[in-house]
Structure 1
Amino acid sequence: MSELIDKAALRDTVQKYLSEAEESLKKPVVDNQALRDEIKALLQEKDAVLVAHYYCEDAIQELAEETGGVIADSLEMARFGAEHPAKTLVVAGVKFMGETAKILSPEKTILMPTLEATCSLDIGCPEEEFSKFCDEHPDRTVVVYANTSAAVKARADWVVTSAIALDVVQHLSDNGEKIIWAPDQHLGNYVQSQTGADVLLWDGACIVHEEFKAKGILDLKAIYPDAAVLVHPESPEPVVEIADVVGSTSQLLKATKEMDNDTFIVATDRGIFYKMKQASPNKRFVEAPTAGSGATCRSCAHCPWMALNSLELLRNALRDGTDEIFVDEEVRVKALKPLQRMLDFKKS
C-alpha cells in the first residue's frame, strides 16, 4: 500500500482542499429569506428538486423539506432523485453524491451548489492507485464505500453504504469470498470485526470521524452519565468500543427516536442535529469532542466541504446552470453495476 500512494503528498492534498474550503467560507452575509424565496421560485421554474445530505447546514435541509425534496444519506438521496419526476436534481452535499445521482439518473441534469465540495475519503482513494492495488489481489472481491468517485465505483464489484455494509460483507464471507475494502479503514475494520470476513483494507479515513477520541467522550460521559453514546463506524476503534449504538447516519437518527435516554453524545457530523432535534425536540444532543484535550482539529465535528454548500451558491447553480455533474458514459455504465447489485441485494 505504501508503495502505491505517497502519504505525505496525500496529506498535502487534503490540507490544500481544507485551506481552499476555509477561504471559500469567508463570504458576506446575504438576505436569507430573499434567497429562500428566489430558490423556491427557481426550483419550480426549472422543474427541479432539492436533495440534501444530513450534514448540510440547517437552512438547506429546511428548504429541501419545504419544497418537496428530501434530507437523507448519500444513497437515499440518489434513489429519491431517480424516482422523482423532476428533470433536474440539485444535490446539496459533496461531489461523489452528485456523481452517484448521475449514475442512477443519466437522463437528468444534476447540479450542485459547488463542485469544490469533495471528501477526504474520495481524495484518499485515487482511481489509478486503487486499480493497481486491486490488480495485485485478483482473487478478492472488491467492495467500496459510497464515499468514492465514479471511477473507483466502476472498478468495484460492490458499492455499499454504512447501513448495509455488514449484511453485504457477511453474505460474501458466507459464500467463501475474500474481500478488498476501500476506502475507510475504520469502517472496514469494524465490518471485519463484526463479520469475521477475510478483509484487506485500503488505508483511508474521514477527517471528521477520525478526530473523535475515546478519552474526550468518556470525559463528557462523566458530565452526562445517563447519556447514550452514538457513534458512526467510520470512527477509530477505541471510539466504537465505548458506544451504546454504532450505525449509519440514518440508523443513529432512528436510535434517538427509539431509545428512552433524554441525552445523547453524538460522534458524527453535527449537521445531523437538525433532524435529531426535529424528531425529538425534548431531548438533548451533545457534540462529541474531537482531537483530544487542547488540540486543534481540522474539522471540529463538521465536514469543511459540506460547509461549502450555501443558499447563495445553490441559487447560483439553479439560476445559471453552473456546477453541473458529468460522468463519462463508459465509467457510468461500469459504476452502475455494483450500485445496482447493492440495491437489488437490499430489496431481497
Structure 2
Amino acid sequence: MAELERDRVREHLAGNTPPTLDDSARAHYRARIAAQLKARNAVLVAHYYTDPEIQALAEATGGCVADSLEMARFGKDHPATTLIVAGVRFMGETAKILSPEKRVLMPTLEATCSLDIGCPADAFSDFCDQQPDRTVVVYANTSAAVKARADWVVTSSIAVELIDHLDRQGEKILWAPDRHLGNYVRERTGADVLCWDGECIVHDEFKAQGILDLKALHPEAAVLVHPESPASVVEIADVVGSTSQLIVAAQKLDNPSFIVATDRGIFYKMQQLMPGKTFMAAPTAGNGATCRSCANCPWMAMNGLENTLAVLEDANGCGQEIHVDAAIAARALVPLDRMLEFGAELKRR
C-alpha cells in the first residue's frame, strides 16, 4: 500500500475510533454487554490486537482472546448461537463460513485489513490463472472470495510448517497476500514460493535501525518480531512468530524486558501473564517523529464498548451482521477445513 494511501486510510479511520470513556461509563457498558451476551446466547471472540477493554470483557464473559486461528476454532466449537467477533472483517467472514448456522455480528463491518484490501478477488484470481502449476496458499487475512480461490488457508502460527509440508511433497507455492511473511517462509523452508505483493500497514513500518537503537539503550531486552515485518527487522529478532507464539516466547525467556514488533494491543495479554516484565513497542518512525511507534492497527481500534453494545441491543444487529454468499462459502470452507485439520495435527505431534 502506497505511503500516501496509508496516510489517507489513517486519517479517515481516525474519526471512527471509539471515544474514550470514563471509569463509570466503562463499567456501565461492561455490565450491559455481559447481560446482553447472556440473554442472546452470544459469545464475544476478540483478537489480541483489539483494545484491552474488549479483550478483558471477552475473558470475563466466557469468550475468547486469541490469534485468528484460535478464534476460528473457538467460534466453531462454542455452543453459542450468536458470535460477536471483535477484530477485522475477514475474521467475521471466517467465523460465518465455519459456523453457517450461527449468527455472526461485528461491532463494525468497516473494520477491515490492508492485506485484504490489497488483494482484490478478481485480480488475485487472474494471478492464479497465470500460474496453474502452483498450489495456492492464502493467508487468513483475506476475503472469503480469495479464500474460495485457494487450495489452502494458513495463519502465521502454522505457515512455516505447512509450506515445509507442501515443499516436501514437491509442490510449488503461490502465496498471498503478505510478501514479508511469504519471503520469511521461503527463507525458512527453501520452498519455491511466488508471492503476491501485499503488506500489513502496521508491520511494514517497523524499522531495523530504530530497534537496534532501542536495543542499545536496553541491552537486556529480547527482540520479538512478527513475520509480517520486513526482512531487515526479522534478521535482528531473538524470536520470530505469530501473536500467540510471541506471547509464549515472552513467558519462556528469562529476559526482564522485551522490544515487541507487532501491534501493541498484544501488550494487554503479555502484561497480564507477565506483570513483572517490561514490554516496549518497536519503533516505526525516526527520531524527529511525533510518534516513535504507531504500531496500532486503525481498523482493530474501531472495536469499542459502545458499538459492541449497540450491535447486541439492536434486534437487526445495526446492519453489522456478516453474510457470505453460499457458493463462495462452500468453496472457502475446503481450504479452511484443511487449515484446521493441519493445525490440529501439529498439536498432536
Taking structure 1 as the reference length, what is the TM-score of the superposition?
Answer: 0.94
1:242 to 232, 236, 239: 236
SS of the residue corresponding to residue 15 of structure 2 reads helix
Structure 2 contact 285–293 (Cα < 8 Å) conserved: no
* Unmatched segments (≥5 aa) in structure 1: 1-6
Residues 274-293 of structure 1: pairs in structure 2 closer than 5 A? 274-293=268-287
Whether contact under 8 Å (1:184, 1:206) holds in the other structure is yes
Cα distance, 1:256–1:28 mapped onto 2, change above 3 Å: closer
1:24 aligns with 2:16: yes
Amino acid at match of 2:171: E
CA offset digits 1:48-82 (Å, max 9, x no partner): 00000000111100000100001001121121011
* 1:3 equivalent in structure 2: none
Q: Secondary structure at the match of 1:64?
A: helix
Deviations 1:261-293 (A, max 9, x none): 110000000000000001111001011111333
Deviations 1:211-235 (A, max 9, x none): 1000000000011101000000000
Q: Distance in 2 between matches of 1:280 and 1:158?
A: 35
1:39-58 alignment to 2 at 5 Å? 39-58=33-52
Preserved contact between residue 18 and residue 306 of structure 2 (Cα < 8 Å): no
TM-aligned CA deviation for residue 16 of structure 1: 4.5
- Aligned partner of 1:333 in structure 2 is 330
| Correspondent of 2:53 among 52, 56, 59 | 59
SS across alignment from 1:24:
coil
- CA-to-partner distance for each residue in 1:228-255, whole Å, 9 max, x for gaps? 0000000000000000000000000000
State the match for 1:270 in structure 2: 264
Separation in structure 2 between the aligned mates of residue 48 and residue 274 of structure 1, nearest angstrom: 24
* Counterpart amino acid of residue 183 in structure 1: P
SS of residue matched to 1:252? helix
Structure 2 CA distance for aligned equivalents of residues 81 and 12 of structure 1: 37
Q: Which residue of 2 aligns with 1:344?
A: 341
Contact persistence 1:207–1:299 (CA under 8 A): no
Report the equivalent of 2:77: 83
**In structure 1, what is the Cα distance between the partners aligned to 2:140 and 2:183?**
16
TM-superposed CA distance for 1:15, in Å, is 4.7
The answer as to whether partners of 1:208 and 1:299 remain within 8 angstroms in 2 is no
* CA displacement at 1:294 relative to structure 2: 2.5
Which position in structure 1 is the counterpart of 2:146? Answer: 152
Instruction: State the match for 1:314 in structure 2.
Output: 308
Amino acid corresponding to residue 344 of structure 1 in structure 2: E
Match of 1:329, as an amino acid?
A: A
Q: Distance in 1 between matches of 2:70 and 2:79?
A: 16
CA 1:198/1:328 → structure 2, altered by over 3 Å: closer, same or farther?
Answer: same
In 1: Cα distance, 2:285 partner to 2:279 partner: 19
> Where do residues 216-227 of structure 1 align in structure 2 (5 Å cutoff)?
216-227=210-221
243-252 vs 11-20, which deviates more? Answer: 11-20
The letter for the 1-side match of 2:331 is K
Query: Which residue number corresponds to residue 120 of structure 2?
Result: 126
Looking at structure 2, the residues matched to 317 and 13 of structure 1 have their Cα atoms a distance apart, in angstroms, of 30
CA distance in 2, matches of 1:39, 1:26: 16
Q: For 2:5 and 2:260, how far apart are their aligned partners in 1? A: 29
1:194 is paired with a residue whose SS is helix
Secondary structure in structure 1 of the residue aligned to 2:279 = strand
Tell me the TM-score normalized by structure 2: 0.94
What is the alpha-carbon distance in structure 2 between the residues aligned to residue 189 and residue 296 of structure 1? 31
- In 2, the alpha carbon distance for the partners of 1:56 and 1:63 equals 11
Identify the residue that residue 197 of structure 1 maps to in structure 2. Answer: 191
How many angstroms apart in 2 are the aligned matches of 1:204 and 1:308? 22
Q: Note the residue ranges of structure 2 that are not aligned, 5 or more in a row.
A: none
C-alpha spacing 1:168/1:82, structure 2 compared with 1 (3 Å): same
Q: Which amino acid aligns with 1:81?
A: G
* Matching residue of 2:299: 305
**SS class of match (1:177):** coil
Superposition map of 1:157-236 within 5 A: 157-236=151-230
Q: Distance in 2 between matches of 1:61 and 1:189?
A: 31
- Distance in structure 2 (CA, Å) of the matches to 1:84 and 1:12: 42
Report if aligned partners of 2:46, 2:86 keep a CA contact under 8 Å in 1.
yes
Distance 1:148 1:276, change over 3 A: same
Aligned amino acid, residue 19 of structure 1: E
Instruction: Measure the CA separation in 1 of the matches of 2:254 and 2:20.
Output: 42
What is the count of residue pairs matched by the alignment?
A: 340
The residue type equivalent to 1:137 in the other structure is Q
- Please tell me the residue identity of whatever aligns with 1:229: V
Cα pair distance change 1:26/1:282, threshold 3 Å: closer
- State the distance in 1 between where 2:334 and 2:286 align: 41
Are the counterparts in 2 of residues 14 and 123 from structure 1 also a CA contact under 8 Å?
no
